[in-house]
Amino acid sequence: MNSVTEPLVRLAARVDSIQPFYVMELAKEAALLEREGRDIIHMGIGEPDFTAPEPVIEAAANALRRGVTQYTSALGLHALREAISAHYASVYGVSVDPARIVVTAGASAALLLACAALVDRDDEVLMPDPCYPCNRHFVIAAEGRPVMVPAGPAERFQLTAADVDRLWNERTRGVLLASPSNPTGTSIEPAELERIVKAVRSRGGFTIVDEIYQGLSYDAKPVSALSYGDDVITVNSFSKYFNMTGWRLGWLVVPPGMVSAFEKLAQNLFICASALAQHAALACFEPQTIATYEARRLEFKRRRDFIAPALESLGFTVPVMPDGAFYVYADCSTVNHAAAGDSSALTKAMLHDAGVVLVPGMDFGTHAPKQYIRLSYATAYPKLEEAVERLARLFGRQ
């Protein structure tokens, strides 16, 4: 058989519109070094080093033993939707009808469903730059146009209501936000988020807020965007706070009038989320499991409180202290290295010369991507300490 390097048929144009996920490319390079015998400390990919607690694992095992692995409703198990609703009431003080909750195959499926339901060809969607790269790709997959709005430290790297007022035009359909955000770990201040929702609502647009890191908030009681009206759409996940990344389970909260549309799309695009993962996730909301998650949240806070000042001691600048998630977005233009101010070259040097993986800003947008690097502190505390020691040697801080 001949080796084929080009597709035998023409690929859709949208494939060329979606850029590679550079964090994964860097991870592959690190894996190659590890196969050569190098010891690598990973602070690139945003995946908790914690895994599902024992009650969740046992719930999955029980589901297997009972054989409850058939398709569920496209909206998800009713019991799980009720548990999620109760969680909103307990943690956020928000009343959410379980009928508005759509269980999905991870937050990625949730965002894809939202874009499929709301974005038409050439519709514009405002989002901050920097942001999670897949967010703009979901819009592109729906044949819409992501409008990346430069956001710096003064805006906490987030979209503002003033941006909405300034940039909204006849092609704008809505906004796609994340609070707390990947890559910056910063939340939108509640008053500002409310102003954004009102600005979008007054123009008949949609507001989608990715809240997958809401459970990992450190400095104040988290406020869900659902507090600002039933017309807000939120996305959440069992991956981050609930430590179930590979289980691929998430959910949406949608306006009452949109449930049937989302159900129809979910039926056709996904059938349903993993039945096994859904049955396991019921155990996430038991008091003993929540206690485990809260202890882990405090451990993430301990790591943040160590690594953010440690980065500054290495010569980086942390312009906004992250208040959630497990990321620090740091200015690399001030470090003592020949590659200072070039995050791509600097992360290569840190990988090859120090055995430490961080991510360049190029993954997250086009606004000052060379100036910033993202660090994920979703790794064990001793590994963070060792990484700081290695980088201190690289930057002549020892």
Are 184 and 367 a contacting pair, CB within 8 Å?
no
For position 1, what pLDDT does the model report?
Answer: 46
Which three-class secondary structure state does DSSP give residue 398? coil
- Whole-number Å distance between alpha carbons of 343 and 365: 13
> Which of 284, 316, 345 is the endpoint of a domain?
284
> Which of 227, 250, 284 is the endpoint of a domain?
284
Check whether residue 210 and residue 98 sit in a common domain.
yes
Check whether residue 253 and residue 293 sit in a common domain.
no
Check whether residue 45 and residue 66 sit in a common domain.
no
- Whole-number Å distance between alpha carbons of 106 and 17: 23
Total domains in the fold of the chain: 2
- Whole-number Å distance between alpha carbons of 96 and 79: 14
For position 3, what pLDDT does the model report?
Answer: 53
Check whether residue 134 and residue 173 sit in a common domain.
yes
For position 5, what pLDDT does the model report?
Answer: 66
Pair of tokens at residue 194: 């409310």
pLDDT, block means (10 residues), the chain with 398 residues: 66 84 82 95 93 98 97 98 98 97 98 98 98 94 97 98 98 98 98 98 98 97 96 98 97 98 98 98 98 98 98 98 98 96 96 96 93 97 98 91
> Which of 260, 284, 308 is the endpoint of a domain?
284
For position 4, what pLDDT does the model report?
Answer: 54
- Whole-number Å distance between alpha carbons of 85 and 398: 52
Check whether residue 18 and residue 111 sit in a common domain.
no
185 domain residue, yes or no: yes
Range of the domain at 299: 14-51+289-394
Half-sphere exposure of 261 (CA within 13 A, CB side): 12
133 domain residue, yes or no: yes
